[in-house]
Amino acid sequence: MAMRLTALVKKGRKDYVALCLELDVASSGSTIREAIENLKDAVREFLEYVHEEGLEQEMLVRPVSMEALREFLEIDQLELRHRAVNLKGYVMEVGAIG
């Protein structure tokens, strides 16, 4: 069964960082495409681990916390109260795994 997942990618200090919003799994790469491909591999490994350990019910649904998302986007709570967050410079990709 295929899962539809969302990757949010940003430029880090040295490379690109990709975050799966539905599973709170992250990876990186020297290009956007590489970061996304590495994230796909990390998600597959995570899902294999969850399946092998029989943890589907406990771990499969674990979206990124708002705190972790704010940290990834480099915004703080005060900024959210006073203005909209500009996501310019970020890439979002939705795709299927499995």
Look at strands 16-20 and 91-97 and give their pairing.
unpaired
Whether the model pTM is above 0.85: no
Domains in the chain, start-ordered, CATH in brackets?
Answer: 3-87 (3.30.160)
Question: Cβ contacts of residue 24 below 8 Å, gap of 6+?
Answer: 62, 63, 64, 65, 68
pLDDT of residue 90: 59
pLDDT of residue 18: 93
Is the pLDDT at 1 greater than 60? The verdict is no
Give pLDDT tens digits for 47-91.
Answer: 899 889 888 777 666 778 778 877 877 766 555 555 555 556 656
Q: For residue 45, what pLDDT band results from cuts at 50, 70 and 90?
A: very high
